[in-house]
């Protein structure tokens, strides 16, 4: 008997050790050199995903409940809205992509188990919805090929929108109506109560059912995805330039500022666990083991701001890489006012999968404090401009059969051992006063939505309570919470209830981020109250111990038309000559000012030509600048590598080379330029209208070309008929040009 008991004990010990080893081994990513393209069920796909110890992915929704999801948002009651691009890349030629068959669905978790169990089509018959944002009882939606913003509302509580209202429309907007990847995304309601988007040089403010637009002279940033941190810093990314993060040093209203070393030199390297042959960049973007070596499709970024994951993750940058089937987590560091990012892991990623169809395209912090991941789950993720017959990636799509993998989609949430996700909100059902405590909630989703809903309601009865928080009056619990004071301050700004006493109190707050925001808010306050004592109080912050406060002070003083403000800018610059950020901000402000003054440099053009060049500047700053740089000198993607060639003084912009420039935009350009190669070839823009191509080329030729011909000034403006003529001539052209071909064409 003892022998049997001993044997059983040994067997039990062996089983325990074996199980422990299996559990440990299962946590190690296993490289898959020959992945299958076959569909996996959500459960099977989850088994291919690897996260750091303690972290797990849970399924929230999948097909048939959702299909081709690209963006999510929640209303104040925690109902999730999902934008679905149902016609996106049904095959490698994008057949039927421009048909209005897409929709937004509303998902609900009725039994509160963390998984959606009810789905309703909230809005249908849409053309590839790109942006959605919940504001009170409304959902703002933007569709592809348009900058129109439409409000949808469900007035009879059946889960379907029955009230539609256009809240913004620009009839003069020149749409980039061909390239799905070169259009806007975001509509991110930032701390400052402005909604920002990518590409377009505008931002929006929505109050009392009306949309107000503000022009950003420097243009938009980024491509697919936009997010903000606790303090209103925006984070963009640029897949076309292979830049996983940019535009985060200063708010775009002040201009563009990026540094070559704003992320670690190795930051752009990625570490998949799967062979990734379907790469637009071809072999140069693959390691010897056939894995993606570099970001090429960075998108869907977010800053984790929740309370259901470990505290050391709060404030971290999350960015998706659907070609690599992975998600990066980065630490965001503040070095003397300059923001820098670093991969949270050494040659590893936060989330990796060996499922060929795993296509993470967006991320967000949810009401429950978890991190949500939007998985488009499909074979083809690149748009048709890059999948044309004969291209590197088309050959891979066809040989692997990726085109057949369509009509699915999943949404996951990242959770952690020992931390329970929080409860569902009911903000839409609560009185305005009940929303105030949420301004200090540990989950940023609650803080943002409380601020937004108070402002949308326009209920000024809560102004005294909000003021008490900012002023830290006795008896107000939230007054001891810096984030609560910050959101209360911006809520007052959104309600247009800021006065001198409130600003003065915030300028003297013990928290530097509250002081910074008070400086920021003082700009609009001083425009209305130029004789306010607040200007003198601002000047007292020139020696503030926080670089963030001093940097904001410089930007704010630059916008105020007074001699005192002008002198303050010079003093700040003199006192901080050795601070890279202060000097960089001044340069960015000066360049932004030059963009604003573009119209004053168009003196020799007639009124029609001036409008053409100005419209072209908007397109260039929104689209072309992401690779060529806002100044045309090229965008540095790190290690001295430029995303695209400099445009300064190049031959295609000379008057006698006009046809060359048009042909390049119509068909694209590949190969070396001036002996240098670049990360990716310039794509064709042929599907854009003749007017679009003529307009952007007119600006580029004006800004970067030689304005002389035979000793005389010439008009840089390209006419629509000139584009039309060359489009007809090159209609049978297959693939991009090389410079050698274009030169030979001219000789012939």
CATH number at residue 710: 1.10.760.10
Neighbours of 710 (CB within 10 A): 6
Per-residue model confidence (pLDDT) at position 2: 39
Same domain, 704 and 621: yes
| Closest CA relative to residue 92, chosen from 497, 358, 389 | 389
**Does 8 score more than 50 pLDDT?**
no
CATH number at residue 567: 1.25.10.10
For 402-423, the pLDDT digits (tens) are 999 999 999 999 999 999 999 9
Does residue 10 lie within any of the structural domains?
no
For 302-322, the pLDDT digits (tens) are 999 999 999 999 999 999 999
Region 631-647: mean pLDDT is 78
| Closest CA relative to residue 69, chosen from 129, 10, 158 | 129
Region 117-131: mean pLDDT is 97
Same domain, 743 and 623: yes
- Distance separating alpha carbons of residues 36 and 46, to the nearest angstrom: 15
Burial of 747 (0-12, 13-18, 19+ CB in 10 A): exposed
pLDDT confidence bin for 15, thresholds 50/70/90: very low
Same domain, 559 and 662: no
Tokens of 482: 């810096």
Domain count, the chain: 4
The secondary structure of 72-120 as a DSSP string is EEE-TT--EEEEE-TTTTSSTT-TTTTSS-EEEEEEE-TT-SSS--EEE
Same domain, 436 and 382: no
Specify the higher pLDDT residue, 691 or 85: 85
Same domain, 259 and 371: yes
Please say whether the beta carbons of 241 and 637 come within 8 A: yes
Per-residue model confidence (pLDDT) at position 153: 97
**Does 194 score more than 90 pLDDT?**
yes
**Does 54 score more than 50 pLDDT?**
yes
Last residue of a domain, one of 440, 463, 494: 494
Last residue of a domain, one of 578, 596, 614: 596
Same domain, 542 and 462: no
Per-residue model confidence (pLDDT) at position 448: 98
For 502-511, the pLDDT digits (tens) are 999 999 999 9
Same domain, 606 and 700: yes
**Does 177 score more than 60 pLDDT?**
no
For 578-627, the pLDDT digits (tens) are 999 999 999 888 887 766 677 677 777 887 887 788 778 877 876 787 78
Per-residue model confidence (pLDDT) at position 708: 63
Does residue 694 lie within any of the structural domains?
yes
**Does 93 score more than 50 pLDDT?**
yes
Same domain, 490 and 562: no
pLDDT confidence bin for 23, thresholds 50/70/90: very low
- Distance separating alpha carbons of residues 276 and 285, to the nearest angstrom: 10
Region 373-387: mean pLDDT is 93
Q: Is 638 left (phi over 0), alpha (psi -120 to 50) or beta?
A: left
Does residue 539 lie within any of the structural domains?
yes
Chain centroid, CA 385 distance in Å: 21
Per-residue model confidence (pLDDT) at position 174: 55
Same domain, 588 and 613: no
Does residue 606 lie within any of the structural domains?
yes
Does residue 373 lie within any of the structural domains?
yes
Per-residue model confidence (pLDDT) at position 709: 61
Per-residue model confidence (pLDDT) at position 594: 63
**243-246 vs 299-303, strand pairing mode:** unpaired
- Of 111-125, 130-144, 167-181, 448-462, the range with the lowest mean pLDDT is 167-181
**Does 499 score more than 90 pLDDT?**
yes
Q: What SS3 state is found at 165?
A: strand
Same domain, 331 and 478: no
Does residue 558 lie within any of the structural domains?
yes
What residues make up the domain containing 467?
430-494
Does residue 591 lie within any of the structural domains?
yes
Q: Which positions ≥6 away from 620 have C-beta within 8 Å?
A: 219, 696, 699, 700, 703
Residue whose token pair is 């051992």:
417
Same domain, 327 and 447: no
Last residue of a domain, one of 581, 596, 611: 596
Same domain, 588 and 715: no
| Closest CA relative to residue 133, chosen from 239, 247, 230, 228 | 228
Query: 32: which DSSP letter?
Result: B
> Is the CA virtual torsion 428, 429, 431, 436 positive or negative?
negative
Residue whose token pair is 């190969």:
671
Does residue 206 lie within any of the structural domains?
no
């Amino acid at each position: 008997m003892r022998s049997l008991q001993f044997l059983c004990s040994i067997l039990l010990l062996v089983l325990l050790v074996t199980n422990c080893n299996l559990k440990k081994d299962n946590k190690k990513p296993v490289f898959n050199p020959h992945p299958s393209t076959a569909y996996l069920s959500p459960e099977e796909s989850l088994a291919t995903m690897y996260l750091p110890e303690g972290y797990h992915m849970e399924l929230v929704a999948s097909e048939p409940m959702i299909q081709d999801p690209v963006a999510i948002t929640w209303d104040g009651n925690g109902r999730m809205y999902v934008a679905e691009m149902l016609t996106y890349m049904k095959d490698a030629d994008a057949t039927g992509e421009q048909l209005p068959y897409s929709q937004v669905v509303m998902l609900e978790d009725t039994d509160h188990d963390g998984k959606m169990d009810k789905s309703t089509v909230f809005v249908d018959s849409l053309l590839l919805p790109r942006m959605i944002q919940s504001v009170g009882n409304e959902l703002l939606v933007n569709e592809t090929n348009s900058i129109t913003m439409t409000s949808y509302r469900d007035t009879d509580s059946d889960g379907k929108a029955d009230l539609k209202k256009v809240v913004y429309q620009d009839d003069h907007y020149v749409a980039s109506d061909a390239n799905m990847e070169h259009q806007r995304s975001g509509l991110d309601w930032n701390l400052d109560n402005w909604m920002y988007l990518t590409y377009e040089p505008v931002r929006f403010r929505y109050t009392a059912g009306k949309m107000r637009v503000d022009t950003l002279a420097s243009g938009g940033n980024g491509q697919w995805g936009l997010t903000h941190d606790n303090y209103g810093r925006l984070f963009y990314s640029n897949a076309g330039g292979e830049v996983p993060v940019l535009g985060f040093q200063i708010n775009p209203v002040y201009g563009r500022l990026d540094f070559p070393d704003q992320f670690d030199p190795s930051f752009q390297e990625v570490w998949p666990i799967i062979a990734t042959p379907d790469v637009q960049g071809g072999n140069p973007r693959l390691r010897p083991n056939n894995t993606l070596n570099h970001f090429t499709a960075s998108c869907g970024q977010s800053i984790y701001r929740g309370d259901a994951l470990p505290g050391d993750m709060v404030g971290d940058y999350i960015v998706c890489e659907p070609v690599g089937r992975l998600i990066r987590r980065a630490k965001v560091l503040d070095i003397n006012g300059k923001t820098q990012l670093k991969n949270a892991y050494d040659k590893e990623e936060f989330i990796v999968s060996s499922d060929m169809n795993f296509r993470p395209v967006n991320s967000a912090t949810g009401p429950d404090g978890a991190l949500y991941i939007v998985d488009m789950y499909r074979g083809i993720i690149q748009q048709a401009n890059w999948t044309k017959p004969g291209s590197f990636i088309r050959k891979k799509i066809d040989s692997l059969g990726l085109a057949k993998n369509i009509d699915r989609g999943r949404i996951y949430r990242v959770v952690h051992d020992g931390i329970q996700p929080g409860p569902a909100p009911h903000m839409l059902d609560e009185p305005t006063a009940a929303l105030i405590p949420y301004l200090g909630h540990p989950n940023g989703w609650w803080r943002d939505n409380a601020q937004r809903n108070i402002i949308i309601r326009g209920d000024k009865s809560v102004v005294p309570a909000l003021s008490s928080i900012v002023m830290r009056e006795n008896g107000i619990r939230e007054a001891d919470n810096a984030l609560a004071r910050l959101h209360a301050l911006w809520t007052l700004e959104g309600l247009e209830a800021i006065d001198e006493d409130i600003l003065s109190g915030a300028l003297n707050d013990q928290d530097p981020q509250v002081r910074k925001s008070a400086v920021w808010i003082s700009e609009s306050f001083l425009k209305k109250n130029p004789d306010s004592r607040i200007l003198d109080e601002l000047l007292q912050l020139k020696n503030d111990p926080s670089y963030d406060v001093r940097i904001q002070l410089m930007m704010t003083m630059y916008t105020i038309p007074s001699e005192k403000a002008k002198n303050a800018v010079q003093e700040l610059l003199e006192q901080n000559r050795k601070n890279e950020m202060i000097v960089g901000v001044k340069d960015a402000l000066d360049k932004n000012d030059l963009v604003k003054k573009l119209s004053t440099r168009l003196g020799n053009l007639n009124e029609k030509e001036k409008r053409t060049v100005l419209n072209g500047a908007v397109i260039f700053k929104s689209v072309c600048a992401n690779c060529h740089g806002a100044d045309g000198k090229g965008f540095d993607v790190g290690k001295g590598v430029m995303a695209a060639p400099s445009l300064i003084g190049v031959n295609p912009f000379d008057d006698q080379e006009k046809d060359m420039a048009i042909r390049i935009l119509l068909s694209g350009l590949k190969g070396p330029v001036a002996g240098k190669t670049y990360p990716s070839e310039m794509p064709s823009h042929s599907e854009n209208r003749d007017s679009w191509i003529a307009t952007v080329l007119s600006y580029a030729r004006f800004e970067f070309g030689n304005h002389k011909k035979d000793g005389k000034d010439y008009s840089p403006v390209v006419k629509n008929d000139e584009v039309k003529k060359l489009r007809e001539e090159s209609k049978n052209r297959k693939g991009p040009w090389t410079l050698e071909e274009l030169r030979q064409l001219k000789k012939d």
